[in-house]
Amino acid sequence: MQTGPREIVTPYRPIPLAVPEGMKPNEFFNSAENLADLVHNNGLLQTPEGLLLYRKALGHSNLFDTSIIYNTSQKILDPLGRPVRRTQVPDEVKRVWNRMNQILFDFMLERYPDPARHLVLAGEASLDATWPLTSPGVPSIRMLHNHFIVFDKHELAAAPLADPNNPNLTDGGQHSLFQAYMREVYRAFFDALHFSILKPCEADECRLALTGYPQGLPSWRVPGGAAALKEVAFWRDYDTLLKGFLDFYRSFFGQVSTRNSPPPRDLYFPDLVEEKLLFNNDFLKTAKMVRDRCIKDAKYANAIRWQPAFKQLIYRNDQGDLIVTISQNSIGNAITELLGVVVNRQPDAAAYARAEPALLEQLFEVRRRLVEADLGEGVATAQWPAS
């Protein structure tokens, strides 16, 4: 079997949404009107806190694929003002969010127990609110949401190899600025973070044999597996990892923007930033390199995401262990590509209809478990009842 990223075809049912004349699609997709449509046509469950479980109309996998979104569209009409990462979510919402994540992941592992047969993952991609709405690659819904996805490894193995130069395969070993120019300081910064549960893992332990991904990213094993996701300490570690990444990203691009700038405000680990970053020659040398290019290259400067952009996920490796990793998200690619899976979505209503009954059966069972755990109430649509 040849190792390399795979490109799979995922059929979907064309969405009967008309974009108003004069609007670009990504402008409409961020509107309150479109988000209401998401609830009414694909919604499965809502919580009083505003968390919505929904079927993915444009999915990654028709085996199992769903998302939970923090739907603030009716309360915050400015798309640029909505929460786009876990650290911006109120604690009372995050507690519910974490419990929902745990139940979803537990369900996937129960239904797909064999790591040799199925790739199981759940993760969050930053929906960065710093790009203009008209920029290419801006996510279609600017609100925090998690993906829950299962791929059949036999289907992945049979799929053609993806072009390794595909720019969407943004990954620490290939395109990442952090990994390419300041790998050691990046690793040392993460090594200084304190975790209660997460344990560092070696690259061979983390990498999927089928795709060879992820490549070069700092990753951590989850001792205890799925049971650990029921522990508050795990989610604190998960947040610590994100907070460390945000401090690193903000500190670096602060130096890119302004030479010898003071540390960013409201750092989570100010002493660590001072000791590990702002007195490190490799860190500051790389910032100068990027700053000099921004001054001379308008196209390069326009592509910079000045505020933190990331992908953070939990996935099952080939040995059945759960792994947590995080990556700079410099282009806006799908979270599956972090694991070397490129999804080619194609409109094919008939093919989607063949997969839909089995997919919906699982989504309804997940909904039942969430309702039973007092994590929301069912949503009725034209396609299904509320329970």
Write the pLDDT tens digit of every residue in 290-300.
999 999 999 88
Give the residue among 245, 204, 198, 211 at the shortest CA–CA distance from 338. Answer: 211
Instruction: Give just the sign of the alpha carbon dihedral 316, 317, 322, 327.
Output: negative
Please say if the pLDDT value at position 83 is more than 90. no
Rounded Cα gap, residues 83 and 76, in angstroms:
9
Q: What percent of the chain has pLDDT over 90?
A: 65
Tokens of 177: 């600025």
Phi, psi angle pair for 193, to nearest 5° = -75, 150
Per-residue pLDDT, 138: 53
Is residue 240 predicted with pLDDT exceeding 70?
A: yes
Q: How do beta strands 43-46 and 6-12 pair?
A: unpaired
Report residue 71's pLDDT band, with 50, 70 and 90 as the boundaries.
Answer: confident
Poorest-confidence range of 87-101, 319-333, 352-366? 319-333
Residue 53: beta bridge partners?
Answer: 45, 68
The β-bridge partners of 152 are 118
The Cα–Cα gap between 187 and 195 comes to 15
pLDDT digits (tens, 9 = 90+) for 90-114: 999 999 999 999 999 999 999 999 9
The 3-state DSSP class for residue 117 equals coil
Query: What is the tens place of the pLDDT at every residue in 22-61?
Result: 877 767 776 777 777 788 889 999 999 999 999 998 889 9
End-to-end CA distance of the chain: 44
pLDDT, position 78: 79
138 φ, ψ to 5°? Answer: -65, 130
- The encoded tokens of residue 271 equal 């002493």
| pLDDT band with cut points at 50, 70 and 90 for residue 304 | confident
Report the pLDDT value the prediction gives residue 321, as an integer from 0 to 100: 97
- Is the pLDDT at 5 greater than 90, yes or no? yes
User: For residue 141, is pLDDT > 90?
Assistant: no
pLDDT band for position 4 (cuts 50, 70, 90): very high
SS3 139: coil
Question: What pLDDT is stored for residue 134 in this prediction?
Answer: 57
* 338-344: average pLDDT: 92
Q: Give the CB-side neighbour count of residue 142, counting CA atoms within 13 A.
A: 25
Q: Kindly report the average pLDDT of the chain as a whole number.
A: 89
pTM: 0.93
Mean pLDDT in residue range 204-222: 91
Q: pLDDT for 166-178, tens place per residue? A: 777 766 665 678 8
Residue 13 corresponds to which tokens in the numbers above? 């049912």
- Supply the pLDDT for residue 38: 80
**What is the three-class DSSP state of 357?**
helix
- What is the pLDDT, as a whole number, of residue 245? 95
User: Which candidate, 343, 317, 313, 148, places its Cα nearest to that of 241?
Assistant: 313
pLDDT of residue 26: 66
Q: What is the DSSP string of 32-95?
A: HHHHHHHHHHHEEEE-TTSEEEEE-SS-S-SSEEEEEEE--TTT---GGGS--SGGGS-HHHHH
Q: What is the pLDDT of residue 174?
A: 59
- Long-range contacts of the stretch 55-60 (C-beta < 8 A, 24+): 55/359, 55/360, 55/363, 57/12, 57/13, 57/15, 58/12, 58/15, 58/345, 59/10, 59/12, 59/345, 60/10, 60/147, 60/149, 60/151, 60/334, 60/336, 60/341, 60/343
Residue 264's pLDDT band (cuts 50, 70, 90): very high
| pLDDT value, residue 170 | 64
